[in-house]
Structure 1
Amino acid sequence: MVNFNGKIVDDIYCISPKNRGYAYGDALFETIKSVNGKLLFWEDHYFRLMASMRIMRMEIPMNFTMEFLEMQIQKALEAHQLSNRFARVKLQVHRVEGGLYLPKNHTVEFIILAESLESGAYLFKDGYYEIDLFKDYDISPSLLSTLKTNNKAINVVGSIFAQENNLNNCLVLNTNKHVVEALNGNVFLVIGNLIKTPPITEGCLKGIMRKQIMDLVKNSQEYQLEEASISAFELQKADEIFITNVITGIQPVTKYRKKEFKFEVSKNLIQKLNDKLGYA
């Protein structure tokens, strides 16, 4: 069951072959973590979606307020009996059917799907987690690359590559051969007390958890934050590498090629994140 434009319907009936998100990738989405009905970082998700819709030249309906969309998400949670549980919510906005590459109009529809999660608090994961570079295809360092659109071919192919090579994840490069992000989140390097992450201008996703971690680091007396280009050579010089997204929180990397990493900073930041959310 999904919430399709405000109505709870069977998910096999809500998408037509002419859906522009399916046909042309003319769609945006937000992945949101819900804890007992509370949408974590909802304001950040909402404003990122609005900004992304403007960049995609979608017409934002007058009723697309933060309150309206939250109400629609709650309706989806209720339909799946997840209002008092932990859930992953996917809110997708796509342009309505009509046209080829050039749409006939710019109005939008939405689909909201909710699925259960095992945990609400962000858990520290210190198990084996190996990464490598995915170098078959590059990301363009452009504004469109920073959006969560349905154009995720590099993430799909890269995930298959990772599975075929017994890797937990891969890092992708941009056309300047700089490290941009992981296949499913943003990437951070720790060198001493310096925490470094690529800037948005490199083409990385404007991640919601990326923002939370950057805010934690900025407000900390323990670490310094730097947004700067990262070369592949720097990966083996780092003390730690971790990957962030709103579902997992922080995923420490334990191995990149022959280099093995510590995870003290990752563990500390997870604790700070849970403290901020009141999960201590």
Structure 2
Amino acid sequence: MVNYNGQLHSGSTFFLNQDSRGLQYGDALFETIRVVNGKVFFWEEHYFRLMASMRILRMEIPMEFTMEFLEAEIANTIKANKLQGSGARVKLMICRQAGGLYVPLSNTIDYIIKAAPLENLFYVLSNEAYEVELFKDFYVNADMLSNLKTTNKILNVVAGVYAKENGYQNCILLNSKKQVAETINGNIFLVKGKVIKTPPLEDGCLDGIIRKKLIELIEGSEEYDVLQESISPFELQKADELFITNAISGIISITKYRKKEFISEVSKSLIGKLNARGRLA
């Protein structure tokens, strides 16, 4: 079942048309949210990121779009899909309503909520091989729009095709300054000694929820220092550890980049703390 503007429809129902601005222009935002046993992980962070993104894109925020309203709509969608007693991957999409060309006729919005089963109720660090490579055909813009979770993801899609064609599990995306920005599906962290680095938002990476939570966790510990600094591709092979973060998987440990193989000690340490933080959020 799919929630379209508060009305539940069968997943096979076609309720968008060829004039959808999300289809025509990528004029849409989305949040991918983890929900376990009815509890929305990091809901406050997801909600405020969504509201801030809508303001930046000059979308009209409906008066009823409170945290409580949208959380209830998510709960209704999960219930309709019979996932309330398990784990669900929820996608909440906001699309400017159809009409206009590059200039929209209005800034009013439609919303869509989808839910699918989660494989694991908790964040789990996989032991499987996970090899990555640089994607250098196209580059991420180092600006604020790149920080937003919009449906303009053709670069990520093409990088995903490249990864699949060449037997990689993921690709590292560079920005127009040839600095590391992110991966296809999440933020990237680099560990060297007692320092953990991740690209700053100014370098064009997604303003990720788990990125933010891990920075808070690391800053609250005395074991490591965390830096939001530009990362050169040359630093990747010198790192002790590389890992990816996103709201669904939590942490994905990179095991190989080119000829360098990596350990996953910091990843293992952080994923338990992230699970604990998620249950309390």
From the superposition, tell whether residues 30 and 15 of structure 1 become closer, same or farther in structure 2 (CA, over 3 Å): same
**CA–CA distance in structure 1, aligned partners of residues 137 and 41 of structure 2:** 35
Q: Which residue identity is paired with 2:219?
A: K
Aligned length: 279
Question: 1:196 deviation in Å?
Answer: 0.2
C-alpha contact (below 8 Å) 1:126/1:263 kept by paired residues: no
Contact 1:33 1:87 in 2 (8 A): yes
Extract unaligned runs of 5+ from structure 2: none
Q: Which residue of structure 2 aligns with residue 59 of structure 1?
A: 60
Contact 2:29 / 2:150 at 8 angstroms: preserved in 1?
yes
Instruction: Give the whole-Å Cα distance in 1 for the aligned partners of 2:279 and 2:29.
Output: 30
Write the letter of the residue equivalent to 2:235. Answer: E
Asked if 1 retains the 8 angstrom alpha-carbon contact of 2:41 and 2:279, the reply is no
Separation of aligned partners in 2, 1:271 and 1:4:
36
Which is worse superposed, 121-130 or 107-116?
Answer: 121-130
TM-score, length basis structure 2: 0.98
Do 2:33 and 2:248's aligned partners in 1 also have CA atoms closer than 8 Å?
yes
Matched letter for residue 6 of structure 1: G
CA offset at residue 273 of structure 1? 1.3
Is 2:78 aligned against 1:77?
yes
Equivalence map 1:104-253=2 (5 Å) = 104-253=105-254
* Alpha-carbon contact 2:197-2:227 (below 8 Å) kept: yes
Q: Does 1:4 align with 2:4?
A: yes
Runs of 4+ residues deviating >4 angstroms? none
Residues 39-82 of structure 1, C-alpha deviation per residue, up to 9 Å, x if partnerless?
Answer: 00000000000000001000111110000000111111011001
Give 3-state SS (helix, strand or coil) of 1:51's partner: helix
Q: Output the amino acid matched with 2:232.
A: S
**Structure 1: gaps of 5 or more residues:** none
Aligned-partner SS, 2:137: strand
Between 144-153 and 12-21, report the one with greater CA deviation. Answer: 12-21
Give distance in 2, aligned partners of 1:253 and 1:271.
17
Query: Aligned-pair RMSD on alpha carbons?
Result: 1.0
- How big is each residue's C-alpha offset from its partner over 1:249-271, in whole Å with a ceiling of 9 and x where there is no partner? 00010100000111101100011
Q: Within 2, Cα distance between the matches of 1:36 and 1:76?
A: 13
Q: Percent identity?
A: 54
